[in-house]
Structure 1
Amino acid sequence: MPLEQFQDFSKMTQTEARTSEEIKGTTETWKELQTPSVQEVFHVMLIPKHYQHVLAFVFAIHEINRNDNLLPNTTLGSKIYDNAFNPPRVSWTTFDLLFAGQGNPPNYNCDRVEKLMAVIGGLTSENSIQMANILNTYKFPQMTYGSYDPVLGDKIQFPLFRMVPNETPQFDGIVHLLDYFRWNWIGVIISDDDNGEMFLQALRLRLFKNDICIAFTQTIPTLNIKSADKKLGEITASFFLNNINVVLVYGDVQSMEGLRIILGIYEIHLDLPMEKVWIITAQWDVTVTFSSGKFTPKSLNGTLSFTLHSNKVPGFQDFLDSLNPHHSSIYFIQNFWYTVFTCSFPKYNLYSTNECTCTGEEKLESLPQLVFEMEMSGQSYSIYNAVYAVAHALHAMQSRAKQKSIQNVERWNLPKIQPWKLHAFLRNVRFNNTAADEILFDDNWDLASGYDIVNMVTFPNQSFKRVRVGTMDPQAPPGKEFTINGSAVVWNHKFQQMPPHARCVKSCRTGYSRIVQQGKQICCYECIQCPEGRISVEIDADHCENCPEDLYPNKKHDQCIPRRLIYLSYKENLGVVLAFFAILFSMVTVVVMGTFIWHWNTPLVKANNQSITFTLLSFLLLGFLSSFLFIGRPEKATCPLRQTVFGIVFSIAVACVLAKTITVVLAFMATKPGNKMRKWVGKRLTVLVIVLCTVVQTGICIMWLATSPPFPDLDTHSQINQILVRCNEGSDIMFYIVLGYMGLLAIISFTVAFFARKLPDTFNEAKLITFSMLVFCSVWLSFVPSYLSSKGKYMVAVEIFSILTSGAGLLSCIFLPKCYIIILRPDLNRREQLIRK
């Protein structure tokens, strides 16, 4: 982790009149703290890896000074200060920078030749805030490269530029990462300060919205307090009591040193590495250790880190290879060399214990990765871009000033330009750096960039490899902000047999939905199977869903399969049987009609009123044939005809039976001497009865078709796995009125026939009509409950069965006895025989 913070002030020199503008760059120092249990004392020492911040800063200045297209005829200079995580020291160095030191009091600058234009610095939020409070007073532009504190988002109080992206994409990236691997039961470790609390508050709401729960939360104390040892013991106990595989860590080098001590004690001293999936935020680089620190490769293997976006900068490694501390004036380079190569610099009173003198031929690439990395880190990359941003802003300001000087016929003079004017140019700066990345600021003066997701693969020799496995880029097109290659992630050795699992309970498989258990977090749910008619196709579904109307759930309730369309078809046995009987009865009716026509002039046919008999047989035939309207898929043409044709045809048939009955009664009454009923006997009465009954039923049917006609309909609710294709009656009331009227005619006919049953048998059909109407009424009375208790095609089958059986009852009871006499007993079909009887 960083130990020192450097402030670098860049100087710019013009060829005709030397002036300077200073840019400030930072890195951080910190006093390494270890608890008494580790039996070491706290002391200040250099973090070698963070010396790369200084080298990246100097490299950027060298590049700009060699670039003829950027700030031509101008040389940037620099000055570096270290602040050592000490806000009071930050104040002192900032004042020293502003007022040139040498005893100058504040607000006085007596000896300064150079002109300060911008400051780059503030790795930690405390230092950034302390610097901003001073620099803002004097309107100097400040660029910080490591502070994420939300307080710094207040640009009225802290008008500084941050070379780091807004922290919101990091929050979203964490949620996306957890959701991608289906982790919803995690531990959280935060720094024991305001930043940690704000991070937890901002993240908790996002986690809750995505059904991710926090199993435990621990704060890592700063190790300069007396209770640190006790607190670290409590944190360690929570690791073992909560068997959590995934732990999210938020903090910086200073606050997370306690966690590093815990990992070191258990892995190095106790040989019990804490093999978990550590998710590290961009504030902490876990590979950075103090000179005496220990890296824990087993514990940190497979770590997933959000890091500042960085890219390979051309020429940087060559620059590092060319460094020689004997021929370089870079700040603190001799001390750095002395520390990492353990060699002596007698000239600078730096003596190593191994009595080896630094030759300057030592190569940085020979150092272990834990000491120094040749690839530019995210924070060094931010410093590099910050220098270029200031240079581009100065270049734009210089171009604007030259234009104005030409218009005013005045010589451009850099000292006359005030530093506060640089703010406007920095806000609008936009350029592509040497690594081909576009650099610009968003509306909140944060770097318009994202985060890289890096998987750390460690090796037993304490080396490691960083593998970029994903990104979180808010500038990407919608839906592509978060990307990750899950197959490229190398997990900790503990999870080589099985990928890491981080859930409170087992996931609910498809076909089940989850239900929250009372008194437990939302992640500790139970699984219940989807009810009938519903499915869940996702793991851990919040609720079961209905299938589309044309589909239905399978037995496992995890898939919708097509529903069969069900209607009474000619292709199934029931439809074939009913069609067969409809044809059979129709043929029998035709045979009966033919028999009566063939024997039209015989006494028996004449005695049974030929016209009524023929009309009745004709409508019985139509009644049998109307059954075919009910078989087959309901259509727009057949649905309105089904019930209306059936109602009218059978009403006429029953009316004919009623007319025959009335005719028989009147015929016997008219034979009595002096009876006045003789004038009613004849065709006029029968026609009147039939027409009157038919008109009433026809009027009912017309009203039905005019107001609410039947139509084809799909019943998707009666059966789960089937869609019932049926004719919606439109108005059930009208259907039962039609049926009731037909029943009324049948009851009247039955009643009249019943009272006339004792008339002489020869010409008396009353007994046959009574029995036929008894069958007819019984069929239709039983039809109503059967029809109401049936569904789909069986409702249709019940109605067809009722049509066929009632028609067959009329046909058999009234006409078959007569056919028997006509065909088999012609001797009884003689006038003499009939008169004798």
Structure 2
Amino acid sequence: MLTLHFFFWLLNIPLLMSNLTHPKCFWRMKQNEDKHGDVVTGCVFYLIAVQSSEMQVDKEYFRFSLDVLIQTRNYQFALPLAFAVEEINRNLYLLPNVSLIFYLFTDNYHDKQAFQNFIYNAAKRHRLPLNYSCKHKTKCRVMITGPMLAPSMSLAQLFELYKYPQVLQLTYGPFHPILSDREQFPSLYQMAPKDTALALAIVSLMIHFNWNWVGLAISDDDQGLQFLSDLRGETEVQRVCLAFVIMIPVNMELYMSRAEVYNNQIETSSTNVVIIYGDTDSTLAVCFRMWVSRGIQRIWVTTSQWDVITSKRDFTVDSFHGTFAFAHHHAEISGLKNFVQTLNHSKYTDMFLARLGWMYFSCEASTSNCKTLENCSLNVSLEWLMLQSFDMAFSDGGYDIYNAVYAMAHALHEMLLQQEENQPINTVRALDSDCSQLHRFLKNMYFINPIGDVINMNQKEKLQAEYSIFHIWSFLHGVGLKVRIGEFKPFFPHGQQLHLYEDMIAWATGTRQMPSAVCSVDCHSGFRKIHQEGMAACCFDCIPCPANEISNETDMDQCMKCPEDQYANAEQNHCLYKDVTFLAFDDLLGMTLSCMALGLSAFTVLVLGIFVKHQHTPIVRANNLTLSYILLISLIFCFLCSLLFIGHPNSVTCILQQITYGVSFTVAVSTVLAKTITVVLAFKVTSPGRKMKWLLVSGASTYIIPICTIIQIILCAIWLGASPPSVDIDAHSEHGHIIIVCNKGSVTAFYSVLGYLGSLALGSFTVAFLARNLPDTFNEAKFLTFSMLLFCSVWVTFLPVYHSTKGKVMVAVEVFSILASSAGLLGCIFVPKCYIILIKPERNSLQKLREKTFSKTHIS
């Protein structure tokens, strides 16, 4: 006799409260609480396998039983089980001549005592081996439990406590690190891969949709706390903030006392996205249902346990604002959809299918025999099953159950082959199904399932899970459809792990616009963030970047300063290269000043020509012809030196422009001083009793020019030796421009040169002012006075204006001052003489000058 037993454990929160007819045959769905107020539900399958007589082993059954607090979705897990059984039965190469059949029955248990009663009843009714029983050779039993941690762990602990030697346990729920402890659970296998990358996958989805303000609801247990720790680690790295963290206590009474607080917390939160993590058979699920019933619409991000793809009889998905569910990545169970849609429920007489038939196929059950279905419509629309088939083909639970059955079948197949090979020839005896042998095969089992996925039962080699991301589409009348919209592969490089098919996403809002989940609106380029005191890092205000600083990304903490040769554009999101500028000849301002300089120079040359042509006339000879020539030539150089300030500066022009205009103006001003002194000396010589004729005849006044000029040259030489003028780049005076100017070098030397010129001009003005009342023949002093007054006025005005301007305007001010002061000297001293020479030639005679002088003397 060969016997192998399998148990299959399910836990889920009931979605409907039902009290059906024929209570003898059916059931009542309700929530149950233990003495501590915790919600507990569950069910068990008992599977039977039959070996045919053609093989040299006895025919035996593998029994599988069900003890359930019924809810609709629990039954879907039996369908992958039934499909796997039938698929194995049809397989000629896996367990050949061995058939698997199953039926179901009910047993209720709600706490640890109920578990113990279940074990006792199962041992009593189905010959589970008790640890003290030595009456016969025991057979191995395989328990498949899930999807919740608590019942799976409780059963494992009970089996270890009572030392059941012939029980192996496989779990199809989420991977739990605590169940991987081989010392505590040596005979337990987890079918699911590790979920260590789940937090990273969820946060990656948040980043993809620019959601940085999300809520979190978890169960207040070890599993929830571990997920919270993982999630916080990822959110801190990716700058995603948790708007709230709701930790739902597992105790129902404690939860009910705080339910309103949790409800207000999510209702008043500004976030539109909430992460749900925990068991669906928990107070967290009760809390979630309450939120939905209160009309709270959020985008729910959760795991595949929480998907809600049912008919409108069970749940209305209209209340969903949108749901993203993360499931382990695997292919569709090939053939399961067709199996479900073509299921012949009359083929199975178990209570399991009776319930499905009663609920969904308009079947009736006989009160005398609850396993007999009557009046089943053969053409009934499989509404619920058709909606569920896609879900079951991709569901984690169904996939794990499918693999668990195949893992058991492969291990049993290998064990039977080995036993048959070791059996003596021509010997017929029953083959043993010792658990230690099955455990030895199962723990190293490595096979490829019919889908094509590699299944490794070695618990030490469990890898991180890859995830498929599903989105729940909501339709009218409470119908929903779960569609795979992307994948997450943790082994891929950063930035390539998440891949979404965004065209597949249908937002519950009815538009393609992305729902937002942010605490503060993004700070666009040109702005930077200022964090709000006492708030999360995702809550901030935006302020513009300072001058000449930019931010070219959103949500920048600091603005970046532009390099010296660049400037910030108007939006302050990009640095532009500054235009290189200077007082160029082709600029309007430079062209104007150049024309003025050339025009005045030409006019001065014209005046010089007039004076040369009329050098023998009294008006030209009256005021020292030589000094007039020197003054006119110096003025020509003054006008022309202004051209050195225009054009692209270089080291030569920067030195020449300052030295040339300093020396040229010194010659001009000292010449004016010499002319003034000459006038005074001429008046003194003509006065009676004066003996100063030798000063006038010797030309002593002409020595003033070289003496004053030499002093200025010495000052310029000191300037060039200490810190000469040089080319400088002014990148700050004008926005968006780099101005090339001449740096004065030594500021002290520059103002010393100007100060020396100013002292000469002041001296000339003083002497000329004192000589203003001389006779008309020698009354050039008046013109000299006006010229020096204008000269001094220009340069006194120059100083404040020069320091109030920047860039090339500053250069233009200096050029204009040179031209204006030089033009003042030219106009005040020489224009009146040119007027007499050219316009009033009759006044340019010695007789007229004497008559005028005589008349003045006679009148006085």
- More displaced 10-residue stretch of structure 1: 780-789 or 154-163: 154-163
Report what 1:709 is aligned to: 726
Match of 2:131 among 105, 121, 129: 105
Deviation string 1:154-198 (CA, Å, 9 cap, x unpaired) is: 899889886555545432343344455455555433224232233
Match of 2:374 among 343, 346, 356: 356
Report what 2:58 is aligned to: none
Match of 2:488 among 472, 475, 485: 472
Given residue 601 of structure 2, which amino acid in structure 1 is its aligned partner? S
Deviation for aligned residue 1:64:
8.1
Report what 1:123 is aligned to: 147
Deviation string 1:229-273 (CA, Å, 9 cap, x unpaired) is: 555455456565667644332222211441365368x4xxxxx64
Note closer, same or farther for the CA distance 1:653–1:154 as it changes in structure 2 (3 Å cut): farther
Q: Superposition pairs for residues 476-491 of structure 1, below 5 Å? A: 476-486=492-502, 488-491=504-507
Report what 1:644 is aligned to: 655
In structure 1, how many angstroms separate the alpha carbons of the residues matched to 2:581 and 2:535? Answer: 47
Checking the alignment, whether the CA contact within 8 Å between 1:441 and 1:448 is kept in structure 2 is no
Deviation string 1:727-780 (CA, Å, 9 cap, x unpaired) is: 3544x5524522431331341353256347656776797665554344333322
In structure 2, how many angstroms separate the alpha carbons of the residues matched to 1:379 and 1:598? Answer: 119
Match of 1:379 among 397, 416, 422: 397
Tell whether 2:712 aligns with 1:693: yes
Report what 2:316 is aligned to: 296
In structure 2, how many angstroms separate the alpha carbons of the residues matched to 1:641 and 1:595? Answer: 35
Q: Superposition pairs for residues 213-362 of structure 1, below 5 Å? A: 214-222=242-250, 225-226=252-253, 229-232=256-259, 235-236=262-263, 245-255=272-282, 256-259=284-287, 261-262=289-290, 266=293, 273-287=295-309, 294-300=314-320, 302-320=322-340, 334-342=350-358, 350-351=370-371, 356=374
Report what 2:766 is aligned to: 754
SS of 1:248's equivalent in the other structure is strand
Deviation string 1:364-390 (CA, Å, 9 cap, x unpaired) is: 787363699553313323454577789
Deviation string 1:130-156 (CA, Å, 9 cap, x unpaired) is: 678789999x99875432546568899
Checking the alignment, whether the CA contact within 8 Å between 1:508 and 1:514 is kept in structure 2 is yes
Q: Superposition pairs for residues 51-62 of structure 1, below 5 Å? A: 51-53=75-77, 56=80
Match of 1:742 among 754, 758, 769: 754
SS of 1:480's equivalent in the other structure is coil
In structure 2, how many angstroms separate the alpha carbons of the residues matched to 1:416 and 1:195? Answer: 31
Deviation for aligned residue 1:819:
3.5
Given residue 147 of structure 1, which amino acid in structure 2 is its aligned partner? P
Checking the alignment, whether the CA contact within 8 Å between 1:33 and 1:257 is kept in structure 2 is no
Checking the alignment, whether the CA contact within 8 Å between 1:27 and 1:121 is kept in structure 2 is yes
Tell whether 2:787 aligns with 1:772: yes
Checking the alignment, whether the CA contact within 8 Å between 2:7 and 2:144 is kept in structure 1 is yes
- More displaced 10-residue stretch of structure 1: 51-60 or 618-627: 51-60
Given residue 719 of structure 2, which amino acid in structure 1 is its aligned partner? I
In structure 1, how many angstroms separate the alpha carbons of the residues matched to 2:182 and 2:637? Answer: 92
In structure 2, how many angstroms separate the alpha carbons of the residues matched to 1:105 and 1:814? Answer: 135
Note closer, same or farther for the CA distance 1:624–1:817 as it changes in structure 2 (3 Å cut): same
Deviation for aligned residue 1:785:
1.4
Match of 2:385 among 362, 367, 371: 367
Deviation string 1:450-469 (CA, Å, 9 cap, x unpaired) is: 32332212445554211223
Given residue 709 of structure 2, which amino acid in structure 1 is its aligned partner? I
Note closer, same or farther for the CA distance 1:127–1:283 as it changes in structure 2 (3 Å cut): same
SS of 1:190's equivalent in the other structure is strand
Report what 1:453 is aligned to: 469
Match of 1:723 among 736, 742, 747: 736
Note closer, same or farther for the CA distance 1:357–1:677 as it changes in structure 2 (3 Å cut): same
Match of 2:217 among 180, 189, 210: 189
Checking the alignment, whether the CA contact within 8 Å between 2:297 and 2:319 is kept in structure 1 is yes
SS of 1:654's equivalent in the other structure is helix
In structure 2, how many angstroms separate the alpha carbons of the residues matched to 1:215 and 1:605? Answer: 97
Given residue 596 of structure 2, which amino acid in structure 1 is its aligned partner? F
Report what 1:660 is aligned to: 671
Given residue 278 of structure 1, which amino acid in structure 2 is its aligned partner? W
Structure of higher CA gyration radius: 2
Deviation for aligned residue 1:578:
3.0
Note closer, same or farther for the CA distance 1:415–1:623 as it changes in structure 2 (3 Å cut): farther
Match of 1:783 among 792, 798, 815: 798
Checking the alignment, whether the CA contact within 8 Å between 2:310 and 2:384 is kept in structure 1 is no
Tell whether 2:826 aligns with 1:798: no
SS of 2:326's equivalent in the other structure is strand
Deviation string 1:286-342 (CA, Å, 9 cap, x unpaired) is: 3479xx9831222136322223323223333455567667878xxxx8332122113
Note closer, same or farther for the CA distance 1:479–1:625 as it changes in structure 2 (3 Å cut): farther
Deviation string 1:212-231 (CA, Å, 9 cap, x unpaired) is: 55555444454x74455555
Match of 1:29 among 11, 19, 33: 11
- More displaced 10-residue stretch of structure 1: 581-590 or 570-579: 570-579
Note closer, same or farther for the CA distance 1:751–1:553 as it changes in structure 2 (3 Å cut): same
In structure 2, how many angstroms separate the alpha carbons of the residues matched to 1:525 and 1:503? Answer: 11
Given residue 299 of structure 1, which amino acid in structure 2 is its aligned partner? S
Match of 1:813 among 828, 837, 859: 828
Note closer, same or farther for the CA distance 1:242–1:646 as it changes in structure 2 (3 Å cut): closer
Note closer, same or farther for the CA distance 1:619–1:151 as it changes in structure 2 (3 Å cut): farther
Aligned length: 769
Checking the alignment, whether the CA contact within 8 Å between 2:17 and 2:30 is kept in structure 1 is yes
SS of 2:766's equivalent in the other structure is helix
Report what 1:625 is aligned to: 640
TM superposition score normalised by structure 2: 0.69
Given residue 310 of structure 1, which amino acid in structure 2 is its aligned partner? H
SS of 1:456's equivalent in the other structure is strand
Report what 1:406 is aligned to: none
Note closer, same or farther for the CA distance 1:61–1:752 as it changes in structure 2 (3 Å cut): same
